[in-house]
Every structure is written in structure tokens, then in C-alpha cells.
Amino acid sequence: MTKKALIIGITGQDGAYLAQHLLAKGYAVSGSSRDVMASSFSNLNTLDIREQVKLISVSINDFRSVFNAIQISDPDEIYNLAGQTSVGLSFEQPVEAIESIAIGTLNILEVIRVLGKVVRFYNAGSSECFGDTGTTPADENTPFAPRSPYAVAKSTAKWLINSYRESYGLYACTGILFNHESPLRPERFVTQKIVVGASKIKAGLIQKIQLGNLEICRDWGWAPEYVEAMWLMMQQGTPDDFVIATGRMESLTYFVSKAFEYFDLDWQKYVEINPSFFRPNEIQQSVGNPERAIELLKWSKPTDIDGVIQKMCAAQAKQLGL
């Protein structure tokens, strides 16, 4: 029989790629956004899959709304990718971060428990939960040390997953994903801001871009590969949590220089530092150890930062006809 999946938060980068991945595997896919009538679903349109997905309006903070969506879609698998996605914004809107991430996750868990459904639940975790890893890659046993309201909310959601898994026997797991990028990223994410900025400078459309702290170091991967890891977690005999990363860390300066180099530009001539873009409590270094996922999930070794930059820049160059 055809498997059914519900992707809560299908409008974002990960939601769209996950929908594409599941459709390719023969799933019937339902997806939610806060307001189906108002959402553009641009990412689904870009991947040319919007008409293949059943769309449902869901307010993840509202238990009844989540309850109705799960009843209507009757899924075998639920993927929760909803909630606030910006670390920086969480400092400005901390209540929204906690409600949309932690309370939203709790609502899904409670609906599954109350309905007594045999369903598998994936929850989107975050490397931000680890705080500053230094140069030692974080793995599944690394303690959490969240530094932002976003990270606190993601940490809370992860422990809720563990609690319901142990208390009620639910198949519920968390993917602790490090940074992962693609052309579907909106420009509010710094990687896409850099790539789009460099391409527009090359095309003569703008003269400079402004960025924040270039000394931060991150582990950047390729988003389509990360959604494959989400699916693999849901196919295991028993539920478990996994770190998804590349194991390679580079500075934002490295990302900027390589992106501008793709367009034959010297980044130092075109980038200005704006202190207002610095966060109140920034993580300087963040890197993960994916070996357990590679070994147990049989997840292919991921594309590292050089491949990510190459693919993002190529997509942007094609869009601008460069």
C-alpha cells in the first residue's frame, strides 16, 4: 500500500526537498503551512511538485488545528519542520521561538498519544543546541549548551521527543542537523545573501553587500542530502536521534571568498562589515561528527562546503544568465 506522509512546515527549503524525496519514493504527501490561501509555495513551484502535494492549513501552536490536520491526512509518517527558523530573529521574538518550536512539537506528540495512532514522527533538531563546539566535532553524546532562544526551544523539543518515546513507546526521533544550504534558501540566510550578492555585483546590479561577523566557523552541508537522512531515520527498526553534518568546519570568510571567487571577484572590494548584524550571543565554532549516521543509517558521505558553494553559485549564475 502507498505510504502517506505529513510534512508540517512544507514551505521552507527542507520541506520542499523532503516532499520531492518522498514523492520520488512513491509516497502520498500532505503538507501544511500556517495559511494555505496566503502562502506562495514558491519552493514547491520551483521543484515543480506543488500539484502533487495535498496542502493543509495548520497553526502548530493550536492543539485543535494540529489534531485536525493529522486526522485528515492520516499519515504513516509525520515530519515536523515548522516553527521559527532564524536564530537571529529568536533574540527579537523569543516567545514566538518557544511557542512555535517547543509547544508545536508538544502538540504533535500529544495528538499522536491521544489518537493512539501507529505513526512515525521525525522532529527537526539543530546543531545550535550544542552551543560552541570548539574544534571537537559534536556527536550524539555531546551535552547541549544552547545560547539563543531558538536553541533553547530546539533543545526543549528534543527532550520532549525523548520523554514521549520512553514514556509512551512512540516512534519519535530527532535529527540534529548542522547548517545545510541550497538555492531554495531565502536571502535572510547569510549563505544565500552572499551568493546572490556576489552574482548581482558580477551582473552590475549592485555595488556592495553588508555582512556581520565573518570570523564565525560552521559545518555547511547540502540540503537535499540532509532530507534523505531524515527519511532514513524513519526507516529504522527502533527510533533514535542522529547528528547530521559533514565533519568539516570553515569560517564565513572562507565561504565569502570562495563564492566571490566563483564569479571572478575579489570579495574584499565589495563586502562591508555592519556591526548591527552581529548577534547578542554568537557561536564562534560549530562542527559535527556524522560517522554514526553514515555507519548505521547507511547515509552517503555528504557534500562538503566546496561542493555546496559550487552548486549554489551555479544555480544563481544560471538564474541571472551569467
Give tens-digit pLDDT for 54-84.
Answer: 999 999 999 999 999 999 999 999 999 987 6
Domain match, 278 and 153 both:
no
Whether residues 171 and 202 fall in one domain: no
Task: Give the distance from CA 147 to its chain's centroid.
Answer: 18
Integer Cα distance of 157 and 153 in angstroms: 6
User: Do residues 12 and 221 lie in contact, with contact meaning Cβ atoms separated by under 8 Å?
Assistant: no
In a shared domain, residues 87 and 174: yes
The CATH number of residue 281's host domain is 3.90.25.10
Task: Give me the phi and psi of 10, to 5 degrees please.
Answer: -80, -10
| 314 and 233 part of one domain | no
Q: Do the domain assignments include residue 137?
A: yes
Do 128 and 273 belong to one domain? no
Residue 294 lies in a domain: no
Minimum mean pLDDT range among 131-135, 146-150, 302-306 = 146-150
pLDDT in tens, 16-52: 999 999 999 999 999 998 777 777 899 999 999 999 9
Lowest mean pLDDT among 97-101, 150-154, 290-294: 97-101
Q: In this structure, are 143 and 208 located in the same domain?
A: no
Contact 22/230 with Cβ under 8 angstroms? no
Task: Examine residue 308 and state whether it is found in any structural domain, yes or no.
Answer: yes
Provide the residue range defining the domain that includes 254.
Answer: 187-218+248-285+304-320
pLDDT at 85: 66
The answer to whether residues 235 and 89 belong to one domain is yes
Alpha-carbon span 89 to 14, nearest angstrom:
19
**Does residue 92 register a pLDDT over 90?**
no
- Assign 322 a pLDDT band (cuts: 50, 70, 90): confident
264 with 161, same domain: the answer is no
130 lies in the same domain as 45: yes
The answer to whether the CB of 6 falls within 8 A of the CB of 67 is no
Q: How far is Cα 152 from Cα 180, in angstroms, rounded to an integer?
A: 20
Task: State how many domains the chain has.
Answer: 2
Q: Is 196 found in the same domain as 114?
A: no
310 or 149, which is more confident: 310
Task: Report yes or no on 292 lying in a domain.
Answer: no
Q: 135 and 184 in contact (C-beta within 8 Å)?
A: no
User: What mean pLDDT comes out for the span 264-284?
Assistant: 90
pTM beyond 0.75: the answer is: yes
pLDDT of residue 90 exceeding 70, the answer is: no
Same-domain check for residues 169 and 191: no
Distance of CA 62 to the CA centre of its chain: 22
Look up the CATH number of the domain holding residue 113: 3.40.50.720
Looking at the structure, tell me whether residues 13 and 140 fall in a common domain. yes
Show which residues are catalytic.
126, 128, 150
Mean pLDDT of 84-94: 71
